[in-house]
């Protein structure tokens, strides 16, 4: 995108599903560490938004696999309604695939 500063930097690569899940794992570890009572707890990350540099739908398979990991009860156990994929212009075909492959996941359009 040419309308945001990070887009002007140019694409340097795409994250794999494992790298995406690793970011969430690090966020959970950080949040647990920050808890003042020291008890930690499970499920500190409550919502995940795929947004930032790059188009999430360009790496559809990685995003799809990451969503499966985020909603898997043995991993993060998030409800699909707590996951949002942001796009700047997914085609109608991609939007249909999102709805079919990831039911309950929200789609946000950046205008």
Coil/strand/helix, residue 77: coil
Single pTM value for the model: 0.82
State the Cα–Cα distance between residues 10 and 8, nearest whole angstrom: 5
Q: What single-letter DSSP state applies at residue 56?
A: G
pLDDT digits (tens, 9 = 90+) for 42-58: 557 899 999 876 788 88
> Do residues 15 and 59 make contact, with C-beta atoms less than 8 angstroms apart?
yes
pLDDT at 58: 85
What is the C-alpha separation between 90 and 58, in angstroms, rounded? Answer: 9
Q: What is the mean pLDDT of the chain?
A: 85
Residues 74-94: what's their mean pLDDT? 90
pLDDT at 16 over 90: yes
């Amino acid at each position: 995108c040419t309308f945001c500063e990070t887009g002007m930097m140019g694409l340097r690569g795409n994250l794999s599903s494992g790298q995406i899940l690793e970011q969430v794992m690090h966020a959970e570890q950080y949040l647990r560490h920050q808890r003042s009572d020291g008890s930690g707890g499970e499920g500190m990350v409550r919502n995940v938004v795929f947004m930032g540099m790059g188009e999430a739908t360009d790496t559809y398979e990685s995003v799809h696999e990451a969503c499966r990991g985020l909603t898997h009860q043995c991993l993060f156990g998030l409800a699909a309604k707590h996951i949002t994929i942001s796009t700047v212009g997914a085609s109608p075909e991609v939007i249909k695939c999102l709805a079919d492959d990831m039911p309950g996941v929200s789609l946000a359009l950046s205008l």
